Amino acid sequence: MLPATDTDVIVIGAGVAGLGAARALRERHIPCVVLEATSRIGGRAWTAYPPQLGGMWFEMGAIWLHWAERNPLVPIARAAGETLLRADELRQKRTFVGMREATLSEYADYDDAWDRYEAIADEILAATPDAPLAAVADRRSDDPWALTVEAFEGPVICVAEAEKFSLRDWRTNVLGGSNLVPDGGIGAFVERRLGAGLDIRLDTPATRIMWNGPGGRVSVETPRGVLSARHCIVTVSTGVLASGALRFDPMLPVATQDAIAGLPMGLAMKVVLRASGTDRLDLPLHCSVDRQITHRGERLMPFQCWPFGRDYVQGWIGADTAWALARDGEAAAVEFTLTQLRSIFGGRVDRLFAGGTRLVTRWDADPWTRGAYSWVPVGQADARRRLAEPPTDGHLLFAGEACHDGFAGTLSGAWISGLDAAARCIGG
């Protein structure tokens, strides 16, 4: 057991937000200790080498440096000499209408649909404080691609059902620009480049935070002892905050509790099927595949087929369907994936993947995240700002992807939020 230890700042969590805060504090020569519950850093940026895929690097969570032109992690990667792959140029795209590929005119109309969708969203938000994401497609029922855009932007990208999801939060955080991938994986990049020189205590979960002590001092209980500091930056997910696994003494103010409740965790599930045959479904290598959605409730599962020339197909599913498949087990997730592939390629997929290994990500079962990332229900579009606002005297702060407007749900949002929290400590 460690004795009670004093430092200037305690950071809870060595994900990207926690690493960003700790690096900013170190640059100002402010003593800081990072407490991480697991045996690795990076949080939801995790490059694994699963035996199911022959030990090839694979992203269990985050995959891209989004909006590279504005992403603060990109200059760090470039300065470190990282090779950054241009994801949008690397992959080819195929969209299917039923079991046939879209025509050239359909591809053009699909490309234009995203601009049409955003324009309708802006019209709706000019007339009301908030609305569900589903209101856009309801307004454009004559648009053959509106529900496809909705299925992407709601359940797939933002892990939220369109009928429940805040249109204003979506519009604030919709991403543009290009996407980059550090060669060898984004999680590996985080481990290589973002944690060096920091005082990180692995396998040391915080169990209770006693804040508002004398002079605003904060004490953090762990299985290894108690640490105290002038400030504490909490970067755990809203899923962990809502679970009560991390206790606060005194209880958090009602306003902070309400902000946490307004940021529930969504789930994104990846299902990987490794081919056991030579058929490549008449697709080029590193090919993304999606399909037109024609009615609400129809599930979209986009695929990355043969990424980097590898021998597997990876599909994404999010929101309520992902939670349901997680409850039903991995066999259900695999069968769902095969059904989605059959709807495009027919029975040949059963022969292709028969006997091949499978991999299903399970962020729902991780007690230190309890989901993928946060989403915002209708009417709660200010929840991110409210959670980022320190309760009472500012000695307790929150950071993470849930606390950023503009890059919510991304590594860059988590990083910026960590820097912002560190700046408050430095200023205080």
Please, is 39 exposed, middle or buried when counting C-beta atoms within 10 Å of its C-beta (0-12, 13-18, 19+)?
exposed
Local confidence pLDDT in tens for the 428 residues of the chain: 445 568 999 999 999 999 999 999 999 999 999 999 999 999 999 999 999 999 999 999 999 999 999 999 999 999 999 999 998 898 999 999 999 999 999 999 999 999 999 999 999 999 999 999 999 999 999 999 999 999 999 999 999 999 999 999 999 999 999 999 999 999 999 999 999 999 999 999 999 999 988 888 999 999 999 999 999 999 999 999 999 999 999 999 999 999 999 999 999 999 999 999 999 999 999 999 999 999 998 999 999 999 999 999 999 999 999 999 999 999 999 999 999 999 999 999 999 999 999 999 999 999 999 999 999 999 999 999 999 999 887 899 999 999 999 999 999 999 999 999 999 998 86
Strands of 123-188 (E only): list them.
Answer: 180-182
pTM comes to 0.96
Cis peptide before 391 (omega within 30 of 0): no
Distance CA 259, CA 371 (A): 17
**Which one, of 230, 251, 261, lies nearest residue 391 by Cα?**
251
CATH architecture entry for 88-171+268-365: Alpha-Beta Complex (3.90)
Which pLDDT does position 11 carry in this prediction? Answer: 98
CA 375 and chain centroid, separation? 10
Question: Residue 6: its pLDDT value, please?
Answer: 87
Which CATH architecture best describes the domain 2-42+194-264+380-427? Answer: 3-Layer(bba) Sandwich (3.50)
Residue 414's pLDDT is: 98
Q: How far apart are CA 405 and CA 315, in angstroms?
A: 28
Ordered by start, the domain boundaries in the chain are 2-42+194-264+380-427, 88-171+268-365
Question: Shortest CA distance to 135 belongs to which of 156, 149, 145, 120?
Answer: 120
Question: Which pLDDT belongs to residue 428?
Answer: 64
Exposure string for 112-131, b = 16+ CB within 10 A, e = fewer: ebeebbbebbeebbeeeebb
Would you state the pLDDT for residue 4? 59
